[in-house]
Protein backbone atom coordinates (compact mmCIF):
# COMPACT_ATOMS: atom_id res chain seq x y z
CA UNK A 1 0.00 0.00 0.00
CA UNK A 2 1.39 3.42 -0.96
CA UNK A 3 0.88 6.80 0.65
CA UNK A 4 0.58 10.01 -1.39
CA UNK A 5 4.36 10.16 -1.88
CA UNK A 6 4.52 6.63 -3.23
CA UNK A 7 6.18 5.16 -0.14
CA UNK A 8 5.31 1.67 0.99
CA UNK A 9 3.49 1.49 4.32
CA UNK A 10 5.13 -1.51 5.90
CA UNK A 11 3.61 -3.67 8.62
CA UNK A 12 4.66 -6.07 11.35
CA UNK A 13 3.40 -9.64 11.29
CA UNK A 14 1.60 -11.15 14.26
CA UNK A 15 4.53 -13.54 14.77
CA UNK A 16 7.08 -10.70 14.70
CA UNK A 17 4.93 -8.57 16.97
CA UNK A 18 4.75 -11.30 19.57
CA UNK A 19 8.48 -11.98 19.25
CA UNK A 20 9.37 -8.32 19.76
CA UNK A 21 6.89 -7.80 22.57
CA UNK A 22 8.29 -10.88 24.25
CA UNK A 23 11.61 -9.09 24.74
CA UNK A 24 10.00 -6.82 27.34
CA UNK A 25 9.96 -3.05 27.66
CA UNK A 26 12.80 -2.49 25.24
CA UNK A 27 11.05 -4.59 22.63
CA UNK A 28 7.77 -2.76 23.17
CA UNK A 29 9.54 0.56 22.67
CA UNK A 30 11.17 -0.76 19.52
CA UNK A 31 7.82 -1.95 18.19
CA UNK A 32 5.74 1.05 19.17
CA UNK A 33 8.17 3.84 18.51
CA UNK A 34 7.92 5.28 22.03
CA UNK A 35 7.12 8.83 23.08
CA UNK A 36 10.58 10.08 22.29
CA UNK A 37 10.67 8.46 18.86
CA UNK A 38 7.31 9.68 17.59
CA UNK A 39 6.39 12.62 19.80
CA UNK A 40 9.52 14.58 20.51
CA UNK A 41 11.53 13.65 17.41
CA UNK A 42 8.72 14.84 15.15
CA UNK A 43 9.55 18.39 16.21
CA UNK A 44 5.84 19.28 16.21
CA UNK A 45 4.07 20.91 19.15
CA UNK A 46 1.82 18.50 20.96
CA UNK A 47 -1.90 18.59 20.21
CA UNK A 48 -4.09 20.34 22.77
CA UNK A 49 -7.55 18.87 22.18
CA UNK A 50 -9.38 15.87 20.72
CA UNK A 51 -12.75 15.79 19.01
CA UNK A 52 -13.81 12.14 18.94
CA UNK A 53 -16.63 11.39 16.53
CA UNK A 54 -17.91 8.09 17.84
CA UNK A 55 -19.97 6.32 15.19
CA UNK A 56 -22.17 4.57 17.69
CA UNK A 57 -23.25 1.15 16.42
CA UNK A 58 -20.38 0.59 13.99
CA UNK A 59 -20.10 2.43 10.66
CA UNK A 60 -19.88 0.73 7.30
CA UNK A 61 -16.38 0.84 5.80
CA UNK A 62 -17.22 -0.22 2.24
CA UNK A 63 -19.69 2.64 1.80
CA UNK A 64 -17.44 5.29 3.33
CA UNK A 65 -13.63 5.17 3.47
CA UNK A 66 -12.83 1.78 1.89
CA UNK A 67 -14.97 1.35 -1.24
CA UNK A 68 -14.67 -1.92 -3.19
CA UNK A 69 -16.38 -1.37 -6.55
CA UNK A 70 -14.86 -4.51 -8.09
CA UNK A 71 -16.28 -6.78 -5.38
CA UNK A 72 -19.70 -6.84 -7.03
CA UNK A 73 -23.29 -6.13 -6.07
CA UNK A 74 -23.37 -8.53 -3.12
CA UNK A 75 -20.78 -6.33 -1.43
CA UNK A 76 -21.42 -2.85 -2.81
CA UNK A 77 -25.14 -2.87 -3.37
CA UNK A 78 -26.27 0.33 -5.09
CA UNK A 79 -23.31 2.33 -3.66
CA UNK A 80 -20.89 1.07 -6.30
CA UNK A 81 -19.39 4.27 -7.69
CA UNK A 82 -16.58 5.63 -5.51
CA UNK A 83 -15.42 9.17 -6.22
CA UNK A 84 -11.94 10.67 -6.59
CA UNK A 85 -10.59 13.04 -3.94
CA UNK A 86 -8.21 15.98 -3.90
CA UNK A 87 -5.39 13.48 -3.27
CA UNK A 88 -4.33 11.41 -6.27
CA UNK A 89 -5.03 7.71 -5.83
CA UNK A 90 -7.45 8.00 -2.90
CA UNK A 91 -11.14 7.34 -3.52
CA UNK A 92 -14.05 7.53 -1.08
CA UNK A 93 -17.64 6.32 -1.10
CA UNK A 94 -19.90 8.19 -3.50
CA UNK A 95 -21.92 9.90 -0.76
CA UNK A 96 -18.84 11.59 0.78
CA UNK A 97 -18.73 14.42 -1.73
CA UNK A 98 -17.44 17.16 0.58
CA UNK A 99 -15.03 14.93 2.48
CA UNK A 100 -13.50 14.01 -0.88
CA UNK A 101 -12.46 17.68 -1.15
CA UNK A 102 -10.77 17.43 2.26
CA UNK A 103 -8.85 14.17 1.83
CA UNK A 104 -5.59 16.12 2.13
CA UNK A 105 -6.49 16.78 5.78
CA UNK A 106 -7.26 13.15 6.66
CA UNK A 107 -5.32 9.95 7.27
CA UNK A 108 -7.56 7.00 6.46
CA UNK A 109 -6.78 3.72 8.23
CA UNK A 110 -8.26 0.84 6.24
CA UNK A 111 -6.84 -2.07 8.24
CA UNK A 112 -8.26 -1.59 11.73
CA UNK A 113 -8.88 -4.97 13.36
CA UNK A 114 -9.67 -6.69 16.64
CA UNK A 115 -12.09 -9.48 15.74
CA UNK A 116 -14.70 -8.67 18.41
CA UNK A 117 -18.31 -8.42 17.20
CA UNK A 118 -20.08 -7.38 20.41
CA UNK A 119 -21.08 -3.71 20.76
CA UNK A 120 -20.09 -3.30 24.40
CA UNK A 121 -16.96 -5.42 24.37
CA UNK A 122 -15.71 -3.96 21.09
CA UNK A 123 -16.42 -0.42 22.34
CA UNK A 124 -14.37 -1.15 25.44
CA UNK A 125 -11.49 -2.45 23.31
CA UNK A 126 -11.43 0.58 21.03
CA UNK A 127 -11.95 3.21 23.71
CA UNK A 128 -9.53 1.83 26.33
CA UNK A 129 -7.06 -0.35 24.40
CA UNK A 130 -7.62 -3.17 26.90
CA UNK A 131 -9.31 -6.54 26.47
CA UNK A 132 -12.75 -6.75 28.13
CA UNK A 133 -13.57 -9.17 30.91
CA UNK A 134 -10.76 -8.41 33.34
CA UNK A 135 -11.07 -7.70 37.04
CA UNK A 136 -10.67 -3.95 36.43
CA UNK A 137 -12.57 -1.54 34.20
CA UNK A 138 -10.03 0.74 32.57
CA UNK A 139 -10.76 4.38 31.75
CA UNK A 140 -11.48 5.45 28.19
CA UNK A 141 -9.33 7.92 26.29
CA UNK A 142 -11.41 10.93 27.32
CA UNK A 143 -10.99 10.21 31.01
CA UNK A 144 -7.24 9.68 30.59
CA UNK A 145 -6.92 12.99 28.76
CA UNK A 146 -8.95 14.70 31.51
CA UNK A 147 -6.46 13.29 34.02
CA UNK A 148 -3.25 14.02 32.15
CA UNK A 149 -4.09 17.19 30.21
CA UNK A 150 -6.47 18.89 32.64
CA UNK A 151 -6.44 17.96 36.32
CA UNK A 152 -2.73 17.04 36.46
CA UNK A 153 -1.79 20.43 35.00
CA UNK A 154 -4.22 22.61 36.96
CA UNK A 155 -7.05 23.01 34.45
CA UNK A 156 -9.01 26.12 35.42
CA UNK A 157 -11.88 26.11 32.96
CA UNK A 158 -15.42 26.27 34.31
CA UNK A 159 -16.57 23.92 31.56
CA UNK A 160 -15.55 20.34 32.52
CA UNK A 161 -12.52 19.01 30.63
CA UNK A 162 -14.34 15.98 29.18
CA UNK A 163 -17.61 16.71 27.37
CA UNK A 164 -20.00 14.32 25.63
CA UNK A 165 -22.42 15.61 23.03
CA UNK A 166 -25.14 14.70 23.76
CA UNK A 167 -25.75 11.26 25.34
CA UNK A 168 -23.20 9.00 27.07
CA UNK A 169 -22.86 5.41 25.93
CA UNK A 170 -22.54 4.12 29.45
CA UNK A 171 -19.51 2.73 31.16
CA UNK A 172 -17.56 2.19 27.96
CA UNK A 173 -16.97 5.88 27.35
CA UNK A 174 -16.45 6.73 30.97
CA UNK A 175 -13.94 6.80 33.78
CA UNK A 176 -13.40 3.19 34.87
CA UNK A 177 -11.31 2.91 38.03
CA UNK A 178 -10.30 6.60 37.85
CA UNK A 179 -13.63 7.41 39.52
CA UNK A 180 -16.48 9.90 39.31
CA UNK A 181 -14.29 12.98 38.91
CA UNK A 182 -13.27 11.79 35.46
CA UNK A 183 -16.70 10.91 34.11
CA UNK A 184 -17.73 12.98 31.10
CA UNK A 185 -20.21 15.80 31.39
CA UNK A 186 -23.04 14.80 29.04
CA UNK A 187 -24.86 17.84 27.73
CA UNK A 188 -28.19 16.22 26.96
CA UNK A 189 -30.45 18.33 24.78
CA UNK A 190 -30.23 18.82 21.05
CA UNK A 191 -27.88 21.48 19.62
CA UNK A 192 -30.13 21.71 16.53
CA UNK A 193 -33.03 23.04 18.63
CA UNK A 194 -33.75 26.77 18.81
CA UNK A 195 -32.27 26.68 22.33
CA UNK A 196 -29.59 24.08 23.08
CA UNK A 197 -30.84 22.94 26.49
CA UNK A 198 -27.68 21.80 28.27
CA UNK A 199 -28.29 19.75 31.41
CA UNK A 200 -27.91 21.96 34.48
CA UNK A 201 -26.58 24.91 32.46
CA UNK A 202 -29.13 26.09 29.88
CA UNK A 203 -32.88 25.70 30.20
CA UNK A 204 -35.13 26.30 27.22
CA UNK A 205 -37.96 27.29 29.58
CA UNK A 206 -36.12 29.76 31.85
CA UNK A 207 -34.69 32.86 30.14
CA UNK A 208 -31.53 34.52 31.51
CA UNK A 209 -33.52 37.40 33.02
CA UNK A 210 -35.51 34.99 35.15
CA UNK A 211 -32.32 33.17 36.15
CA UNK A 212 -30.86 36.50 37.32
CA UNK A 213 -34.01 37.15 39.34
CA UNK A 214 -33.76 33.71 40.94
CA UNK A 215 -30.12 34.34 41.77
CA UNK A 216 -31.01 37.60 43.54
CA UNK A 217 -33.86 35.97 45.44
CA UNK A 218 -31.63 33.12 46.59
CA UNK A 219 -29.00 35.56 47.79
CA UNK A 220 -31.51 37.68 49.72
CA UNK A 221 -32.90 34.61 51.51
CA UNK A 222 -29.47 33.23 52.50
CA UNK A 223 -29.32 34.80 55.94
CA UNK A 224 -27.25 31.96 57.37
CA UNK A 225 -24.64 32.37 54.64
CA UNK A 226 -24.48 36.10 55.29
CA UNK A 227 -23.96 35.56 58.99
CA UNK A 228 -21.22 32.95 58.45
CA UNK A 229 -19.50 34.62 55.51
CA UNK A 230 -16.06 34.70 57.14
CA UNK A 231 -16.01 30.96 57.87
CA UNK A 232 -13.52 29.08 55.60
CA UNK A 233 -16.03 26.42 54.60
CA UNK A 234 -18.60 29.07 53.70
CA UNK A 235 -15.94 30.73 51.58
CA UNK A 236 -15.46 27.53 49.65
CA UNK A 237 -19.22 27.15 49.24
CA UNK A 238 -19.56 30.72 48.01
CA UNK A 239 -16.75 30.18 45.50
CA UNK A 240 -18.51 27.08 44.18
CA UNK A 241 -21.82 28.95 43.90
CA UNK A 242 -20.11 31.79 42.08
CA UNK A 243 -18.54 29.37 39.60
CA UNK A 244 -21.90 27.65 39.05
CA UNK A 245 -23.65 30.95 38.37
CA UNK A 246 -20.86 32.01 36.03
CA UNK A 247 -21.33 28.79 34.09
CA UNK A 248 -25.09 29.40 33.87
CA UNK A 249 -25.11 33.16 33.29
CA UNK A 250 -21.54 34.17 32.46
CA UNK A 251 -19.27 33.84 29.46
CA UNK A 252 -18.44 30.16 30.11
CA UNK A 253 -22.00 28.96 29.57
CA UNK A 254 -22.33 30.97 26.36
CA UNK A 255 -20.10 28.45 24.60
CA UNK A 256 -23.28 26.40 24.14
CA UNK A 257 -25.19 29.30 22.55
CA UNK A 258 -24.92 28.39 18.89
CA UNK A 259 -27.05 31.37 17.87
CA UNK A 260 -23.87 33.43 18.22
CA UNK A 261 -22.60 31.77 15.02
CA UNK A 262 -23.43 33.05 11.54
CA UNK A 263 -26.51 31.33 10.07
CA UNK A 264 -24.55 30.55 6.92
CA UNK A 265 -21.96 28.59 8.90
CA UNK A 266 -24.65 26.70 10.79
CA UNK A 267 -26.20 25.79 7.45
CA UNK A 268 -22.84 24.46 6.20
CA UNK A 269 -22.56 22.18 9.22
CA UNK A 270 -26.13 21.00 8.67
CA UNK A 271 -29.18 21.90 10.71
CA UNK A 272 -29.33 18.47 12.32
CA UNK A 273 -28.10 17.03 15.62
CA UNK A 274 -24.79 15.78 14.26
CA UNK A 275 -23.92 18.88 12.27
CA UNK A 276 -24.68 21.22 15.16
CA UNK A 277 -22.80 18.93 17.56
CA UNK A 278 -19.73 19.38 15.36
CA UNK A 279 -20.16 23.15 15.60
CA UNK A 280 -20.53 22.95 19.39
CA UNK A 281 -17.37 20.83 19.55
CA UNK A 282 -15.41 23.47 17.64
CA UNK A 283 -16.61 26.14 20.09
CA UNK A 284 -15.51 23.96 23.03
CA UNK A 285 -12.05 23.54 21.49
CA UNK A 286 -11.80 27.33 21.18
CA UNK A 287 -12.17 27.78 24.95
CA UNK A 288 -9.58 25.08 25.69
CA UNK A 289 -11.65 21.98 26.52
CA UNK A 290 -9.21 19.08 25.98
CA UNK A 291 -11.61 16.25 25.08
CA UNK A 292 -14.98 16.30 23.35
CA UNK A 293 -16.86 13.19 22.22
CA UNK A 294 -19.74 13.38 19.77
CA UNK A 295 -21.76 10.21 20.28
CA UNK A 296 -23.38 9.77 16.87
CA UNK A 297 -25.98 6.97 17.03
CA UNK A 298 -27.81 5.14 14.28
CA UNK A 299 -25.04 3.15 12.58
CA UNK A 300 -26.16 -0.32 13.68
CA UNK A 301 -27.75 -0.91 10.27
CA UNK A 302 -28.86 -4.54 10.35
CA UNK A 303 -31.92 -3.77 8.23
CA UNK A 304 -32.47 -1.60 5.17
CA UNK A 305 -28.91 -0.38 5.34
CA UNK A 306 -28.82 1.47 2.03
CA UNK A 307 -32.05 3.39 2.66
CA UNK A 308 -30.52 4.67 5.90
CA UNK A 309 -27.21 5.50 4.24
CA UNK A 310 -28.93 7.72 1.70
CA UNK A 311 -29.88 10.05 4.57
CA UNK A 312 -27.12 9.53 7.13
CA UNK A 313 -24.03 9.64 4.93
CA UNK A 314 -24.74 13.12 3.49
CA UNK A 315 -25.35 14.42 7.03
CA UNK A 316 -22.10 12.91 8.24
CA UNK A 317 -20.28 14.21 5.17
CA UNK A 318 -21.46 17.80 5.69
CA UNK A 319 -20.81 17.88 9.43
CA UNK A 320 -17.33 16.33 9.39
CA UNK A 321 -16.14 18.18 6.28
CA UNK A 322 -17.26 21.54 7.67
CA UNK A 323 -15.60 20.77 11.01
CA UNK A 324 -12.26 20.13 9.28
CA UNK A 325 -12.60 23.26 7.14
CA UNK A 326 -13.69 25.43 10.06
CA UNK A 327 -10.86 24.26 12.31
CA UNK A 328 -8.39 24.88 9.49
CA UNK A 329 -9.75 28.36 8.78
CA UNK A 330 -9.42 29.32 12.46
CA UNK A 331 -5.90 27.98 12.86
CA UNK A 332 -7.08 25.20 15.20
CA UNK A 333 -6.62 22.06 13.10
CA UNK A 334 -2.91 21.62 13.85
CA UNK A 335 -3.62 21.62 17.60
CA UNK A 336 -6.82 19.54 17.46
CA UNK A 337 -7.01 15.81 16.75
CA UNK A 338 -10.21 14.75 14.99
CA UNK A 339 -10.82 11.02 15.37
CA UNK A 340 -13.65 9.36 13.41
CA UNK A 341 -14.59 5.72 14.02
CA UNK A 342 -16.71 3.26 15.91
CA UNK A 343 -16.46 -0.04 17.71
CA UNK A 344 -16.21 -2.06 14.46
CA UNK A 345 -17.33 -1.99 10.84
CA UNK A 346 -20.21 -3.73 9.05
CA UNK A 347 -20.19 -7.01 7.15
CA UNK A 348 -18.85 -6.40 3.65
CA UNK A 349 -21.23 -9.00 2.23
CA UNK A 350 -24.74 -7.58 2.26
CA UNK A 351 -27.46 -9.66 3.92
CA UNK A 352 -30.19 -9.42 1.28
CA UNK A 353 -32.57 -12.08 2.59
CA UNK A 354 -35.43 -11.46 5.04
CA UNK A 355 -35.62 -10.29 7.75
CA UNK A 356 -32.58 -8.10 6.98
CA UNK A 357 -33.65 -6.98 3.50
CA UNK A 358 -30.31 -5.49 2.56
CA UNK A 359 -28.55 -5.01 5.89
CA UNK A 360 -25.03 -5.18 7.19
CA UNK A 361 -24.15 -6.85 10.49
CA UNK A 362 -21.32 -6.39 13.03
CA UNK A 363 -17.80 -6.85 11.72
CA UNK A 364 -14.69 -6.51 13.87
CA UNK A 365 -12.26 -8.36 11.62
CA UNK A 366 -11.56 -5.40 9.35
CA UNK A 367 -12.84 -1.82 9.45
CA UNK A 368 -11.79 1.80 8.96
CA UNK A 369 -10.93 4.80 11.10
CA UNK A 370 -9.86 8.35 10.28
CA UNK A 371 -7.41 10.66 12.05
CA UNK A 372 -6.99 14.31 11.11
CA UNK A 373 -5.31 17.39 12.55
CA UNK A 374 -3.25 17.43 15.71
CA UNK A 375 0.01 17.44 13.76
CA UNK A 376 -0.85 14.23 11.92
CA UNK A 377 0.06 14.07 8.24
CA UNK A 378 -3.08 13.95 6.12
CA UNK A 379 -3.59 12.92 2.54
CA UNK A 380 -2.67 9.28 2.98
CA UNK A 381 -4.08 5.81 3.43
CA UNK A 382 -2.58 3.48 6.02
CA UNK A 383 -3.06 -0.23 5.58
CA UNK A 384 -5.13 -2.08 3.05
CA UNK A 385 -7.98 -4.57 3.20
CA UNK A 386 -8.38 -7.45 0.78
CA UNK A 387 -10.47 -7.17 -2.40
CA UNK A 388 -13.76 -7.67 -0.53
CA UNK A 389 -12.90 -5.71 2.60
CA UNK A 390 -13.14 -8.80 4.81
CA UNK A 391 -9.53 -9.06 6.01
CA UNK A 392 -6.58 -6.73 6.51
CA UNK A 393 -4.27 -7.38 3.54
CA UNK A 394 -1.31 -5.59 5.09
CA UNK A 395 -0.35 -3.23 7.91
CA UNK A 396 -2.91 -4.36 10.53
CA UNK A 397 -3.72 -1.64 13.06
CA UNK A 398 -5.05 -2.68 16.45
CA UNK A 399 -6.85 -0.34 18.87
CA UNK A 400 -3.82 -0.11 21.17
CA UNK A 401 -1.64 0.85 18.19
CA UNK A 402 -3.92 3.75 17.28
CA UNK A 403 -4.57 4.90 20.86
CA UNK A 404 -0.86 4.85 21.62
CA UNK A 405 -0.29 7.13 18.63
CA UNK A 406 -3.05 9.52 19.74
CA UNK A 407 -1.59 9.67 23.25
CA UNK A 408 1.84 10.44 21.83
CA UNK A 409 0.54 13.38 19.82
CA UNK A 410 -1.06 14.71 23.01
CA UNK A 411 2.22 14.46 24.89
CA UNK A 412 0.99 11.55 27.03
CA UNK A 413 3.40 8.64 27.38
CA UNK A 414 1.48 5.56 26.16
CA UNK A 415 4.01 3.34 27.91
CA UNK A 416 3.49 5.17 31.20
CA UNK A 417 1.11 4.58 34.08
CA UNK A 418 -2.11 5.92 35.56
CA UNK A 419 -3.27 5.72 39.19
CA UNK A 420 -5.19 2.52 39.89
CA UNK A 421 -7.18 1.24 42.88
CA UNK A 422 -5.68 1.42 46.37
CA UNK A 423 -2.71 3.55 45.39
CA UNK A 424 -1.45 1.27 42.64
CA UNK A 425 0.07 2.41 39.36
CA UNK A 426 -1.16 0.58 36.27
CA UNK A 427 0.00 0.68 32.67
CA UNK A 428 -1.98 3.05 30.50
CA UNK A 429 -1.98 0.57 27.61
CA UNK A 430 -1.31 -3.18 27.59
CA UNK A 431 2.28 -4.18 28.17
CA UNK A 432 4.48 -6.90 26.72
CA UNK A 433 3.24 -9.41 29.29
CA UNK A 434 -0.20 -9.44 27.65
CA UNK A 435 1.34 -10.65 24.36
CA UNK A 436 -1.18 -8.87 22.17
CA UNK A 437 -0.65 -8.72 18.40
CA UNK A 438 0.44 -5.33 17.11
CA UNK A 439 1.24 -3.61 13.87
CA UNK A 440 3.15 -0.90 15.72
CA UNK A 441 2.21 2.69 16.33
CA UNK A 442 1.40 4.83 13.35
CA UNK A 443 4.79 6.36 12.63
CA UNK A 444 3.53 7.14 9.11
CA UNK A 445 1.37 9.90 10.59
CA UNK A 446 4.08 11.91 12.29
**The pLDDT of residue 44:** 77
- At 331, the pLDDT band (50, 70, 90 cuts) reads very high
**The pLDDT of residue 290:** 97
Average pLDDT rounded to a whole number, residues 33-40:
41
Regarding predicted confidence, which is higher, 43 or 261?
Answer: 261
pTM: 0.84
Domain boundaries, the chain: 14-202+257-445, 211-256
pLDDT at 55 over 70: yes
**The pLDDT of residue 5:** 39
pLDDT at 77 over 80: yes
**The pLDDT of residue 212:** 55
**The pLDDT of residue 4:** 41
pLDDT at 305 over 90: yes
- At 430, the pLDDT band (50, 70, 90 cuts) reads very high
pLDDT tens-digit map of 161-193: 999 999 988 766 689 999 999 999 999 999 999
Task: For the chain, give the secondary structure using H, E and C.
Answer: CECCCCCECCCCCHHHHHHHHCCCHHHHHHHHCHHHHHHHCCCCCCCCEEEEEEECCCCCCCCCCCCCHHHCHHHHCCCCCCEECCCCCCEECCCCHHHHCCHHHEEEEEEECCCCCCHHHHHHHHHHCCCCCCCCCCCCHHHHHHHHHCHHHCCCCCCCCEEEECCCCCHHHCCHHHCHHHCCEECCCCCCCCCCCCCCCCCCCCCHHHHHHHHHHHHHHCHHHHHCCCCHHHHHHHHHHHHHHHHHHCCCHHHHCHHHCCHHHHHHHCCCHHHHHHHHHHHHHHCCCCEEEEEECCCCCCCCHHHHHHHHHHHHHHHHHHHHHHHHHCCCHHHEEEEEECCCEECCCCECCCCCCCECCEECCCEEEEEEECCCCCCEEECEECCCCCCEEECCECHHHHHHHHHHHCCCCCCCEEECHHHCEEECCCCHHHCCCCCCCCHHHC
**The pLDDT of residue 304:** 93
**The pLDDT of residue 36:** 40
pLDDT tens-digit map of 431-444: 888 889 999 999 99
Give me the chain's average pLDDT, please.
86
Regarding predicted confidence, which is higher, 29 or 365?
Answer: 365
Average pLDDT rounded to a whole number, residues 94-107:
98
**The pLDDT of residue 158:** 87
Regarding predicted confidence, which is higher, 264 or 212?
Answer: 264
Q: Which of 19-23, 111-115, 142-146 has the lowest mean pLDDT?
A: 19-23
pLDDT tens-digit map of 195-245: 999 987 766 666 666 555 555 545 556 565 555 556 566 555 555 555 554
Q: Which CATH class is domain 14-202+257-445?
A: alpha beta
pLDDT at 335 over 90: yes
Q: Which of 58-67, 197-206, 333-342, 356-365 has the lowest mean pLDDT?
A: 197-206
Average pLDDT rounded to a whole number, residues 318-334:
98
* The most confident of 20-29, 85-94, 165-174, by mean pLDDT: 85-94
pLDDT at 32 over 90: no
* The most confident of 132-136, 207-211, 277-281, by mean pLDDT: 277-281
**The pLDDT of residue 45:** 86
Average pLDDT rounded to a whole number, residues 335-352:
98
Amino acid sequence: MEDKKGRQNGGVSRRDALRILGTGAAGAAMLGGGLGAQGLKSGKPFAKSVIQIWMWGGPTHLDTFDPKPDAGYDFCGPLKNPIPTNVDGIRLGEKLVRLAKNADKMAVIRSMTHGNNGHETASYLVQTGHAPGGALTYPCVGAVVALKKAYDVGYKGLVPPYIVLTRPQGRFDEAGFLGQKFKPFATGGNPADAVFAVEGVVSKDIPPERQESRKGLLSSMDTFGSAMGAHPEMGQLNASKSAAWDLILGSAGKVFDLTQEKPELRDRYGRNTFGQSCLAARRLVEIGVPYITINYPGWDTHKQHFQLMNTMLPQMDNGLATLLEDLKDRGLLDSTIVWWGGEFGRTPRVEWDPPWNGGRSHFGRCFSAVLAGGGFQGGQVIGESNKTGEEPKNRPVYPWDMLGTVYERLGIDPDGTIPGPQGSQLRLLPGAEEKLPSGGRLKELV
